[in-house]
Structure 1
Amino acid sequence: MVVVTALAGIVFGLALASPPGPMNAIIAEESVLRGWSSGFRAGLGAMLADVLFFVLALAGVVAVVDSYPAVRPLLYVVGGVLMLYFAVGAFAEARSATSFTDAGSADSTGFRKTFVLSLSNPYQIGFWLTVGVGLLEPGHLDVLAYAPAVGDLLEGTLVVQTGSPTLLVGLFAGIAVWIVAYPAALVSAGRRVDAFAPAVAALSGVVLVGFGLVFLAMGAVRLV
C-alpha cells in the first residue's frame, strides 16, 4: 500500500500542476525567454504557495475562507487584475523577443509572479479546502470503486491511504516533476525553433487575458 499511495500522490501532484492555466502560462513564458532555470523558478513560486496552503490547511486556517462569503469573490477580482497586469508584460516581451535565450537572468520575475498569483487563486485555495483537506484526513480512499459502471468489479484494486506522509510526499514530488520537466520540454523546443519564444510569450499573454477576464467576471457576479 505504501508504494501505491506514493504513486497515487505523484499522480495527484501532476494532476494539480499540469492543467493549462495562468501558472503554466507564466512558466512557459519564463522558460522560452530566459531559459530552464527561470521557468523552474516560476514553477517553484507556485509550488511554494501550495506548501503554504498545505501548512495552513493542516492548521485549519484555510477553512476560514469559507467563513466569510465576500473573501472568495474578492480573490477572483484581485487574481483577475493581476493576470491582466502580467499579460501586458507578456505581450511586451513577445514584441521584443526575437529568439530563445538561455540567460537564466536575474531579471526574471517569474517566481514572484506565480507566488503572488497563486495566493490569490480561488481554484488553488478551493483545492486545499476540498480535495486537500480530504488527503490530510487519516483514512483510506478506494479510488477505482467510484468508477462508473465497473466500480463494483474494481473495488479494492487501488486503495490509497489518506493522511499519510507518503501520500503528501508523493503529491509534492509530482508537482516537482512537473516544474522540472515542463520548462525542460519548452526549452528544448525553443532551442530548435527561434520563432517559438515570442510565439509562446504571446500565447501566454492571451491565456492570462482570458483567465483574467473570466476571474473578473466571476468576482463581479458574486459581489453583486
Structure 2
Amino acid sequence: MNFLLYLGLGIILGLSMAAPPGPINAMIANESTKSWLHGSSVGAGAMTADLIFFVITYFIQEYIPNYIVKILYIIGGAFMLYLAYLTFKSKMPSRSVSGNYFIGLSMGLMNPYQISWWISVGISMIKSLSISIIPGFFMGIVIWVIVFPKAINILGNKYVKYIKIISTIILLIFGIYLLYEGISNVV
C-alpha cells in the first residue's frame, strides 16, 4: 500500500512541478504547433534538467552556494529574452526534435523556478518522504510532457497565432523578471 501512496503522491508532485505556466511550457506550446513530438522533446529536455537537479540535490543538498543561483538568474533571463524574440519571429534555434531537447535542457538548467523548486521543495520532499517518491514524481512529469503537447497540437493549429503571442509574452515576462532578480541580487 505504501508503494501506491508514494506513487500517487509522486505523480501529483511531478505534475505540480511541470504544469505551472512558465517559459518552458510556453516553449512546449509553441513547438507543439509543429508536432506533439517537437513539444514533447522540449519537455523531455526540461525533465532531464530535473533529473540532474535531483541528483545534485540528493548528494549535495546543503552545499549549493547562493551566488551560483544569482548568476543563473542573469544568464537565464538573457536566454529567455532571446527565446522570446525567436518565438515571435517563429525561427527557433533548431527545428529538429533533438535540437528542441537541448533547448528544453538548457532552459531547465537555467530556470531559477526549477532550481528554487529543487532547493526548497525538492530537498524537503526527499527528506520527509524519502526517495521512494521519486519514481512517481518523474512519472507525473512524463505524463505532462506527453499529454500537454498532444493537447496543444490538437487545439493549437486553430490558434497558432495566439499561442505564439502568449508564448512570446510569457517568455518576455520571465526573461525580464529573471534579469531584474539577478541584477538586483548582485547589486
TM-score by length of 2: 0.91
CA distance in 1, matches of 2:97, 2:51: 25
Aligned match of 1:163: 130
Change (3 A) 1:89 1:58: same
CA distance in 2, matches of 1:125, 1:164: 18
Please say if residues 26 and 110 of structure 1, whose CA atoms lie closer than 8 Å, have aligned partners that are also in contact. no
Q: Which runs of 5+ in 2 are unaligned?
A: none
Q: Does 1:125 align with 2:118?
A: no
Q: Does 1:134 align with 2:140?
A: no
State the one-letter code of the partner of 2:22: G
Name the count of aligned residue pairs: 183
Structure 1 ranges of 4+ moved more than 3 A: none
Aligned residue runs from structure 1 range 64-213, under 5 A = 64-65=63-64, 67=65, 69-93=66-90, 106=96, 109-137=99-127, 139=128, 162-165=129-132, 167-191=133-157, 193=158, 196-213=159-176
Q: Which runs of 5+ in 1 are unaligned?
A: 95-104, 140-161
State the one-letter code of the partner of 1:11: I
Change (3 A) 1:164 1:106: closer
Please identify, of 13-22 and 201-210, the stretch whose mean Cα deviation from structure 2 is larger.
201-210
State the one-letter code of the partner of 1:110: N
State the one-letter code of the partner of 1:75: L
Alpha-carbon RMSD across the aligned residues, in angstroms, is 1.7
**Identical-pair percentage:** 33
State the one-letter code of the partner of 2:63: V
Provide the secondary structure at the position in 1 that maps to 2:21: coil
TM-score by length of 1: 0.77
